[in-house]
Amino acid sequence: MDIYSKRLPTIKQLQYFIAVCEERSFRGAAEKLNISQPPLSIQIKDLEEKLKVTLFLRNPHSVVLTKEGEEFKSKATYILNELCLITRLIKAQDVEKIRLGMTKTLSFDFIPYFKLFLSDFSEETEIYKHNYTSKELLQELQKGNIDFAFVSDYQLRDINENSLLVYKEPMILVLPASHRCSKLERVDLNDVTDLPLFWFKQYQNPVFYEQCERVFKTLTSPIVRRAELADNLSMLLDVSLGKGMMLLPQSMTQAKVDGVIYKKLIKNQDSKLRIDIFLIWRKNLTRNLTADAIINYFKKPK
């Protein structure tokens, strides 16, 4: 038998075989591979016919590898690992990674949409590690230090040029657990004006600042503003003591602090207090397959 023989197992069959080995069931393997069970069973049967051995002993409750199956598992795993390694090495030689900046305004690891994107493009991208604001990232983009950036507060957006609106991040109200509204599912800002709000300076994010001001002006009583402290933890501790409240992007509400509770706003306020996140790319960006794939990824309906 030579390398061109049609009797050789396919890569797909090796992958299906390893999935069944790992899951110890055809149903579990099919779910892992995101396929239906019949095609999986057909491929495994064809693999056994090509090898002229029985790989699995099947019963209604489980799947057990035969002795031949155990031996083939070791060899199939080695072949697939070698193929993965070769693929990574070739891609690393031929494709320069896309440099990607992400504003520190959000915690993208806690947004499923972006977490999936970063996983899907982990081998083609590298994250620009600097802890930059959106304004700073736009400057880095102009300098050519990065290829793409996820930014907020993008005033000069040209929808026909090099940007896409890709996400709207909800704002979450942070209250003392002792506050009378802490038991509500959603909170109206009109009901919490007894607390001062830790708030940022207008120059730090002018577009979003004005967006929030339009909502604040509709309230029956004014919200008293307090200058933000040096870090979120200090402000959360003050909130726990009843000294104020906060509005935080949803992805930034992972810290668990005694005496603090996170609440969604009523729908009318929630829809108006969302941070627009844009994907921006360099105007002189070399449009290769990876760059086009990233842009098309965010053009798809969510």
Q: Is residue 31 domain-shared with residue 177, that is, in the same domain? A: no
Structural tokens at position 208:
């979003």
Q: In this structure, what CATH number is given to the domain that contains residue 48? A: 1.10.10.10
* Full pLDDT tens readout for the chain, 302 residues: 688 888 899 999 999 999 999 999 999 999 999 999 999 999 999 999 999 999 999 877 788 999 999 999 999 999 999 998 888 777 665 557 899 999 998 999 999 999 999 999 988 899 988 889 888 998 899 898 999 999 987 665 554 468 899 999 999 999 999 999 999 999 999 999 999 999 999 888 888 899 999 999 999 999 999 999 989 999 999 999 999 999 999 999 998 999 999 999 999 999 999 999 999 998 888 888 889 999 999 987 76
pLDDT of residue 302: 62
pLDDT of residue 4: 87
Instruction: Report angle CA 126, 204, 101 to the nearest 5 degrees.
Output: 5
pTM of the model: 0.65
Residue 173 and residue 179: Cα distance in Å, rounded? 12
Beta strands in the chain (DSSP E): 56-58, 63-65, 98-102, 125-127, 148-151, 163-176, 186-187, 197-199, 225-227, 246-249, 260-265, 274-281
CA-to-CA separations, 34 to 12, 27, 40, in angstroms, rounded: 13, 10, 10
In a domain, residue 3? The reply is: no
| 27 in Cβ contact with 62 (< 8 Å) | no
Structural tokens at position 296:
């098309």
Residue 152 belongs to domain spanning: 98-166+277-299
Residues near 179 by beta carbon (within 8 Å), at least 6 away in sequence:
192, 195, 242, 245, 261
Q: Is residue 26 domain-shared with residue 57, that is, in the same domain? A: yes
| 51 in Cβ contact with 9 (< 8 Å) | yes
Q: Is residue 182 domain-shared with residue 259, that is, in the same domain? A: yes
In a domain, residue 6? The reply is: no
Q: Is residue 86 domain-shared with residue 103, that is, in the same domain? A: no
